[in-house]
Amino acid sequence: MTDGAGNSAGLFGSGLGSSGRPEDVQLLDTTLRDGEQAPGVSLTPEEKARIARALDDAGVDVIEAGSAVTGPGERETISRVTDLDLDATVTSFARGVENDIDLAMDCGVDGINLVVPASDKHIEDKIGTTHAENVAQTVELVEYARDHGLWVEVIGEDGSRADLDYLEELLGAALEAGADRVCYADTVGHATPDRTIEAVSRLAALGPTSTHTHDDLGLAVTNVMASLAAGADLVHGTINGVGERAGNVALEEVAIALDHGYGIETMDLTKVYDLAQLIASKTGIPLAPNKAVVGENAFTHESGIHTDGTLKDESMYEPYPPEKVGRERRLALGKHAGRAGVEATLNEHGIDVEEDELREIVARVKEIGERGKRVTDADLLTIAEDVQGRERERRVELLDLTAVSGSDVPTASIRLDVDGEVREEAATGTGPVDAAMQAAEAALSHTADAQLESYHVDAITGGHDAVVTVEVEMSRGDDHVTVTASEADITRASIEAMVDAMDRLVAGEDTVIADD
């Protein structure tokens, strides 16, 4: 079944309005609380404030800034977020204890996400109370929070394993006591979609219902969609799906699924890629290349037939355009590369080739790909130069690099030859690589705003003489180039890749790279 826009309405076809879909879906981001509970993640107050502002700029409705009871540092962090005067509702996670609510109020939050036990495991084994006492305590806490002017959402912890009659009794009592909404929580990622629909539909009949899903069975997004079909209208999640164990549902995936599949707008989708990069950087959890929406490969085409089809019709092998989520389409080169993709990539770099030259270049690209190597822009341009018998005169070249680390602040100095002019710069950083790259950026700062777009370590060999491969992507205006470099020293590999990328970006230009 489809609606007037050609979108499928089947999932939302059960009693949710004449349009066959929810009229409005809101998002609650818990990256700063549940996301930070991922092993090894610790965000500073400054980082949390920056993330909160980015979430607000993207139009996220509710931001769970942390759990005030965690300690003074967490309370400082939550207060930093509340001081930002965001449009979003800012909340604190609170256990079923009055003191947790008091500490949250001290931080100036708009509301609380009050978690109370819902399953027998949590009521009897974890808390050590009775079902009746749990209901009575929940009612008292809701009334207390509402009397103090807080927005209140009550979360039935482990709700997916709770007796549904009891879950309905518990959360129904919370709504009657004045809670703004209740939340179905698949705390351990246990539920299947049919169980989710059964539970959420009973809660949604009582009042406004949220859904909180985890991805332990790989069903987080599916269970969100099932929850919405059953009547939920607010989704808890995190950017990139960061969180405990297998993580929470990824909000960017929920947002694009609702927009693309059902025409439901939840946030500014053009902001999600920058958000994803910010979260990956601050949490230290890299994005998987095949991650939906924000992964490196999401809009990258290598297969010859796919590349050819995409060049003829951009929608041929993509469900939605990359610009919709703040991305750009990329053509990758490897053993699956075809003539059209190689020619298009060469054209992007201003290189015209004859038919026989193109045939030879494609063959060499495939040969490199067969050896398991990714063919970067620099590799392709080097192949083209060799096939066409051209010699490239370098315009940017590394002359010398010194990096020092230890007990003091890491420092680095660099000497570059730029259009025959020797430039020297020094910088400090969080480590020797950072210091060296800061120095290189300073030395290249006069080259028309070249930007380092991405940086990652691609491979490391074993042993005491290990070789590291570094890949960088740099841009200058609309031009992008990706370069790899391999060295025993990661700092030198990083700078060689960066300098080579910059040289490729300015190759062929007539203007001198002038110092200001």
Measured CA angle at 449 (ends 444, 452), to 5 deg: 75
Q: What is the mean pLDDT of residues 200-206?
A: 97
For residue 27, list its beta bridge partners.
Answer: 235
Lowest mean pLDDT among 6-15, 72-81, 119-128, 481-490: 6-15
**Res. 13: pLDDT tops 60:** no
- Quick one: average pLDDT of 272-301? 88
Are 283 and 242 a contacting pair, CB within 8 Å? yes
* Chain region(s) in the chain for CATH 3.30.160.270: 396-506
Res 90 pLDDT > 60: yes
DSSP 133: H
Whether pLDDT at 9 is above 50: no
Q: What is the pLDDT of residues 217-233, one digit of tens each?
A: 999 999 999 999 999 99
Distance CA 468, CA 459 (A): 6
Least confident stretch, 188-202, 246-260, 289-303, 388-402:
289-303
Task: Identify the pLDDT of residue 2.
Answer: 39
Task: For residue range 138-148, list pLDDT tens digits in order.
Answer: 999 999 999 99
Average pLDDT for residues 122-132, to the nearest whole number? 93
pLDDT in tens, 165-179: 999 999 999 999 999
Cα separation, 200 vs 222, whole angstroms: 14
Instruction: Answer yes or no: is pLDDT of 378 > 60.
Output: yes
Fold of 396-506: Double Stranded RNA Binding Domain (3.30.160)
Q: Which of 67-76, 119-128, 408-417, 503-512 has the lowest mean pLDDT?
A: 503-512
Query: How does residue 461 score in pLDDT terms, banded at 50, 70 and 90?
Result: low
**In this model, does residue 482 exceed pLDDT 70?**
yes
pLDDT tens digits, 382-422: 788 888 888 777 888 899 999 988 667 899 999 998 888 89
DSSP 250: B
Structure tokens at 161: 């394993």
Query: pLDDT at position 22, please?
Result: 60
pTM, two decimal places:
0.74
At which residue do the structure tokens 């705003």 appear? 449
User: Is it the case that residue 19 has pLDDT exceeding 50?
Assistant: no
- Give the pair of three-digit tokens for residue 496: 């060689």
SS3 of 41, please?
A: coil
Check pLDDT > 50 for residue 83: yes
pLDDT at 448 exceeding the cut of 80: no
What pLDDT is stored for residue 463 in this prediction? 62
DSSP letter assigned to residue 394: P
- Beta-ladder partners of 2: 8
Per mean pLDDT, which of 25-34, 393-402, 457-466 is the most reliable?
A: 25-34
Q: Any residues with CB less than 8 A from the CB of 327 and at least 6 apart, and which?
A: 273, 294, 298, 299
Quickly tell me which residue has 């927005």 as its tokens: 151
Region 478-487: mean pLDDT is 76
- The whole-angstrom separation of Cα 138 and Cα 157 is 12
Distance CA 184, CA 207 (A): 12
What pLDDT is recorded for position 7?
44
183 pLDDT above the threshold of 80: yes
Is the pLDDT at 475 greater than 80, yes or no? Answer: no
Q: Is the pLDDT of residue 12 over 70?
A: no
Which residues belong to CATH 3.20.20.70 in the chain?
A: 26-283
Q: Residue 278: its pLDDT value, please?
A: 94
Dump pLDDT digits (tens) for 288-298. Answer: 989 999 987 77
pLDDT higher than threshold 90 for residue 497: no
Domain 26-283 has CATH 3.90.1150.10: no
Q: How far is CA 53 from the centre of its chain?
A: 15
Range with the poorest average pLDDT among 38-42, 303-307, 329-333, 446-450: 303-307
Selected residue with higher pLDDT from 420 and 283: 283
